[in-house]
A and B are shown apart, each in its own frame.
Chain A
């Protein structure tokens, strides 16, 4: 099939052999050349797996290795920008779906290495060819691009029980739509989906380029259901990263799971051998668009804000402590009151009190303003866990009386099962699932 059949670059050889976008333009300086091509020793930022040890923080412009035991983009040190998209599968033909996933893998392998999406490229073909890359990333480095794929519950079985692609018996038991939570205002038009792609990069244009080209490869097979742009990571996923601030102005994710804690990741993030075989080494992704009531928050006193969160706004220290990484002491009292209020977000969300842990990987968003002149902004919350029921759902149920609920509203919900990483040149996203 023209355009997106596996073709001659399905082996990934072209990715290794191809010119990077920057080299094509002769822009690669001596100092950066090493990081531009996938597989070049020393230049590629390693990605943590249980047996590889901890990654360093990614150079802002470098490449992140695409292959590995786990998919990149989960414990990879969080990049600055996000383009997340959820697709409906519109074909009924399983072979077409498989061909697209193979074509996606080939293109993802190339783009994460800083190459054009296809082997012809944006400008390498004939004058009457439609270019197989859209071109807006020409001259840009890989910029830490990761592409992470996930499969939603409706890919396996539709809401009315139809086994669309013969996958029903491969649906993991934990892969079910999330229950509703207090205060939810879920918009079905930006919730759910059959397949998701998470593109993270330090350059927003690189992330958008990747999603745009993959969506294009899926013409006739998938249709974009909803998408979300994010900026400013709100979580650190590595000890090498500073803790970023969210749009409330607070440091967010201080006590997040970190790539370096490999045993904790095995316990809480990576699917083990007690689930579907094809998912071992994968993870469940939960996405929630959390609108912040910015104007109400901005007129709250500093004291109210800190009591709501449970941390000092300036240092990020837990209330009652001095420094950001001081351990939270839930027993400490100040003037006869608990230093960290029992209705504060930190109190209720902390693993000590929620009884579980999740790997958060959210991004701030501002989608312009609403019709009332208020910022349409908040946190596009993404988290990874071994089982949504004992991960996000358990944490969120514990947030029922969170003081922060006054200032947030969840407006979308989605859950996906992300398969393990692509391991060799012939491997592709979903191979074990469709085997």
Chain B
């Protein structure tokens, strides 16, 4: 709920992207492959406890994966480069559904991951890509970072809209248990990209404002309004208009966000802003004060921050490899600290965490923030 990015946006306008053409070309044939579409179709058989990728070796170029979910849980599929840099992802694959994913992979070592239930590190396999490697200039790597992150945002917004619609439908149907289950899931996609949403400052408080944040005369709307009805009142009979409003507001922000490309400095600041969100909203239990599902949001903020930083990774590896090492170490430490509280496909509720457990989480976020806060200066050095 900060306006951090928004205010820095004007300042950063001067730092315009230089790689617009590269950006536009991303996803087709940047590695010299002449075919604009993928020639292959790699099957990924996903279930609740498996993630079988049809091949472990590929040639550099553009490939299509088709992920089929035969399990009972919603799953996600990722292709990660080193440091969990997201090369491609497909979100929100419902049971029985197949989804396609187009990804351009230069030579290198990758991991594929399915995340049944959307939690944890996922079921991983190694994927080796041989052939031409990518050599990009500094400016190109930064442009690539913006393009990669934009693609990440677009896959998140797609899932955000679907899951928020499902949540709203459950609310309108009076399905309290169903809505309670969907609430933290829908919010996961929101929290992963919240800094992007915050660019559109007037929509963010309408969608994600907490009770008491409204100006005089403004109605309390959005996720938290419905959260209160679900958990506190246990009655959503009057929530229909709020559910409809939430979907239309989310639709609006999704449209805006998909048009937006963050510049590298905004990525750096956004990665830090997401960690600040954890420190000020989730570790304090203020975000989800009725449902206490703060750790779902914690995880989403953390993943979103990691996605933004890792998009910058090729640049950072050249500019400050020592910092990259420290950031990797501290993301891993924070993920491990959080993993202690994973329960099945969810997380321990905030009000069941002890002071000491919260302090452990807080300490790891403090350390991680210290490292991530240095990324902006490295990016600005260019």
When the two chains form their complex, are residues A219 and B370 in contact, meaning their CB atoms are under 8 A apart? yes
A129 close to B (CB within 8 Å): yes
Q: Which of A3, A128, A129, A130 contacts B265 (CB 8 A)?
A: A128
Given contacts A219-B370, A220-B366, A223-B359, contact A1 B377 (CB under 8 A): no
For the complex formed, measure the closest distance between the CB of A217 and the CB atoms of chain B, giving whole angstroms. 9
Which residues in window 181-220 of A have CB below 8 A to B?
Answer: 216, 219-220
Question: Quick one: CB contact mask for B349-377 with A, threshold 8 Å, 1 for yes?
Answer: 00000000001001100111111011011
Task: Decide if A2 touches B380 in the complex (CB within 8 Å).
Answer: no
Contacts of B381 in A (CB 8 A): 126
Judge if B299 is at the interface, Cβ distance under 8 Å.
no
In the assembled complex, B107 has its CB within 8 A of some CB on chain A: no
Flag if A90 contacts B320 (CB, 8 Å).
Answer: no
CB within 8 Å for A90 and B374 given contacts A1-B322, A128-B380, A220-B330: no
A126 CA to B265 CA, complexed, in Å:
14
**B42 in the interface (beta carbon within 8 A):** no
User: Closest CB-CB distance, A86 to chain B, in whole Å?
Assistant: 14
Nearest chain B CB to A29 CB, angstrom units? 35
Task: Report chain A residues within 8 Å CB of B363.
Answer: 90, 220, 223
Do the beta carbons of B374 and A2 come within 8 Å of each other? yes
CB contacts (< 8 Å) of A125 on chain B: these are 377
Residues in chain B near residue A263, CB distance under 8 A: none
The answer to whether the Cβ of B123 comes within 8 Å of any Cβ in the partner chain is no
Does A127 make an interface contact (CB < 8 A)?
A: yes
From residue A343, how far is it (CB to closest CB) to chain B in Å? Answer: 40
Which residues from B are CB-within-8-Å of A221? 367
DSSP majority for the B interface? helix
How far is it, in angstroms, between the C-alpha of A1 and the C-alpha of B327 when the chains are bound? 11
Known contacts being A2-B322, A2-B326, is A128 close to B379, with CB within 8 Å? yes
Q: Is B323 an interface residue (CB 8 A)?
A: yes
| A116-B337 Cα distance, complex, nearest whole Å | 34
Chain A residues within an 8 Å CB radius of B371: 2-3, 220
Question: In A91-129, which residues have CB < 8 Å from any B CB?
Answer: 125-129
Residues of chain A contacted by B370 (CB below 8 angstroms):
3, 216, 219-220
A90 to B379, CA, bound (A): 30
Q: How far, in Å, is B328 (CB) from chain A's closest CB?
A: 13
> A130 contacts B374, CB within 8 Å?
yes
Closest CB of chain B to A410's CB: distance in Å?
23
A130 touching B377, Cβ below 8 Å: yes
Interface mask (A210-237 → B, CB under 8 Å = 1, otherwise 0): 0000001001110100000000000000
Query: Which B residues are in CB contact (< 8 Å) with A90?
Result: 363
Q: In the complex, A90→B361 CA distance in Å?
A: 12
Question: Does B366 contact A219, Cβ atoms closer than 8 Å?
Answer: yes
CB-nearest residue of chain A to B377? A129
Give Cα A221 to B370, complex, Å: 11
Instruction: State the Cβ distance, B18 to closest chain A Cβ, in Å.
Output: 18
Q: Provided the pairs A1-B322, A1-B326 are in contact, do residues A130 and B366 lie with their beta carbons within 8 angstroms? A: no
Chain A residues contacting B323 (CB-CB under 8 Å) are: 2
CA distance A125 to B378 in the complex (A): 12
A125 to B381, CA, bound (A): 12
CB proximity of B17 to chain A, nearest CB, Å: 17
Q: Are B366 and A2 in contact (CB under 8 A)?
A: no
CB-based contact B359/A128 at 8 Å: no
User: A220 to B326, alpha carbons, bound, how many Å?
Assistant: 11
A223 vs B359: C-alpha distance in the bound complex, in angstroms?
Answer: 9
In the assembled complex, the Cα of A219 lies from the Cα of B371 at a distance in Å of: 9
- Bitwise interface map of A from 1 to 22 toward B, beta carbon under 8 Å scored 1, else 0: 1110000000000000000000
Known contacts A1-B322, A1-B326, A2-B320; is-contact A126 B366 (Cβ 8 Å): no
Q: How far, in angstroms, from A3 to B320 measured CA to CA in the complex?
A: 13
B367: which A residues are within 8 A, CB to CB? 219-221
Q: Which residue of A lies closest to B380 (CB)?
A: A128
Q: How far is the CB of B371 from chain A (nearest CB, A)?
A: 8
**Nearest Cβ in chain B — how far from A129, in angstroms?**
4
- For the complex, what is the distance from the CA of A223 to the CA of B368, rounded to whole Å? 13
Q: Is the CB of A128 within 8 A of B376?
A: yes
Chain B residue with Cβ nearest A5: B322
Closest B residue to A220 using CB positions: B367
- Residues of B near A2 (CB, < 8 A) are 320, 322-323, 326, 371, 374
Residues of chain B within 8 A (CB-CB) of A127 are 380
What is the chain B residue whose CB lies nearest that of A128? Answer: B380
Q: Which of B326, B330, B362, B377 contacts A128 (CB 8 A)?
A: B377
- What is the CA–CA distance of A44 and B366 in the complex, to the nearest angstrom? 37
Nearest residue, chain A, Cβ from B15: A128
The answer for the CA separation of A1 and B325 in the assembled complex, in Å, is 10
Whether the pair B380, A130 counts as a contact (CB closer than 8 A) is: no
**Distance (whole angstroms) from the CB of B351 to the closest CB of chain A:** 20
A2→B362 CA distance, assembly (Å): 21
- Chain B nearest Cβ from A331, distance in angstroms: 53
Q: How far is the CB of B366 from chain A (nearest CB, A)?
A: 5
- Asked if A3 meets B322 with Cβ closer than 8 Å, knowing A126-B380, A128-B379, A223-B359, the reply is no
Determine if A3 and B359 form an interchain contact, defined as CB atoms under 8 angstroms apart: no
Residues of A within 8 A of B369 (CB): 219
Binary per-residue interface labels of chain B (303-320) against chain A in the complex, 1 for a CB within 8 Å, 0 otherwise: 000000000000000001
Please, which residues of chain A bring their CB within 8 A of the CB of B377?
Answer: 125-126, 128-130
Restricting to B140-169, which residues have a CB under 8 Å from any CB of A?
Answer: none
CB distance from B163 to the nearest CB of A (A): 34
Q: Kindly supply a per-residue 1/0 record for chain A positions 21-34, scoring 1 wherever the CB is within 8 Å of any chain B CB and 0 otherwise.
A: 00000000000000
Shortest beta-carbon contacts, A-B, top 6: A220-B367, A128-B380, A219-B370, A129-B377, A223-B363, A128-B376
In the assembled complex, 9 residue pairs joining A and B whose CB atoms fall closer than 8 Å, in A order, are A1-B322, A2-B326, A2-B371, A3-B374, A126-B377, A219-B367, A219-B369, A220-B367, A223-B366
Given pairs A220-B366, A220-B367, 5 additional interface contacts (CB within 8 A): A2-B326, A129-B376, A216-B370, A220-B371, A223-B359
